[in-house]
Amino acid sequence: MTELSPRLMRQMDFIIEADKLKNVFRRSFISDQSRRENDAEHSWHLCLMTIILAEYANEPDLNVLKILKMVIIHDIVEIDAGDTYIYDEAAKQSQAQREQKAADRLFSILPEDQAHEYRQIWDEFEAAQSKEAAFAKSIDRLHPMLLNYLAKGKTWKEHGVAESDIRRINGSIQHGSEDLWGYAEHLIKKSVNEGLL
C-alpha cells in the first residue's frame, strides 16, 4: 500500500471537519417550512445562485470561481462560532471576534498554501471591498430573504422583524447587484402586501 502524504491527510482532515457544517442550523426555514436550513445547504444554494445570477453583478468580468470559493467557505467558521442571526444586534457584537478565532483554527487544518489562500478569500468576503465579495455578499443577503418569503415570513414573524429592518440590513445587496436589489424590493413589497411583514 502506498504511504499517504501528510498533505493529503491534512486536506482530508479539513474536509472531515467541514462536514460539521451540516449540523449548524440557521434561522431560515426551507421553502416548505418543514425544518430549518443548515449552513451546508445555504452554501450550496449560494453556489447555485452564483453560477445562475453572476450576469446581474454591477461589475463585469467577475472571477466566478473565486466567488464560488467564497460562498462555499464563507460560513465554515460557524462550525465553532455558531450562526449569528442577522437581525440579532446583541449577538452581532461578538460575532467578528468569534468568527476570527474560528477562522484561525479551521483554516490552520489545511496545508500552509491552502490555509493561506482560503483564509485570504474568507477575509476578502468579510471585508466586502472587491467586486467578487460585493456580489457574494449580495446573494448571501438575498438568499435568506427569498427563503423567508417562500416560508410565508415564518422566521420574520418569530422574531418580530419589520420591513424597515429588512431594508436596513439588506440594502447592501445593491452594492453587488442593482438588479438583485430590485428583486429584493419586489420580495419586500409582496411580503407586505401578503401580510408576511
User: What pTM was computed for the model?
Assistant: 0.94
**Helix pair angle (163-170, 131-150), 10° resolution:** 160
Per-residue pLDDT in tens (0 to 9) along the chain, 197 residues: 688 999 999 999 999 999 999 999 999 999 999 999 999 999 999 999 999 999 999 998 999 999 999 999 999 999 999 898 888 888 889 999 999 999 999 999 999 999 999 999 999 999 999 999 999 999 999 999 999 999 999 999 999 999 999 999 999 999 999 999 999 999 999 999 999 98
Beta strands in 5-142 (DSSP E): 25-29, 36-38
Tell which CATH architecture fits domain 6-193. Orthogonal Bundle (1.10)
pLDDT at 87: 86
Q: How far is CA 57 from CA 31, 141, 156, 181, in A?
A: 25, 14, 27, 11
What is the C-alpha separation between 48 and 146, in angstroms, rounded?
Answer: 14
Distance CA 44, CA 71 (A): 8
Domain ranges of the chain: 6-193
- Predicted confidence at residue 195, as pLDDT, reads 94
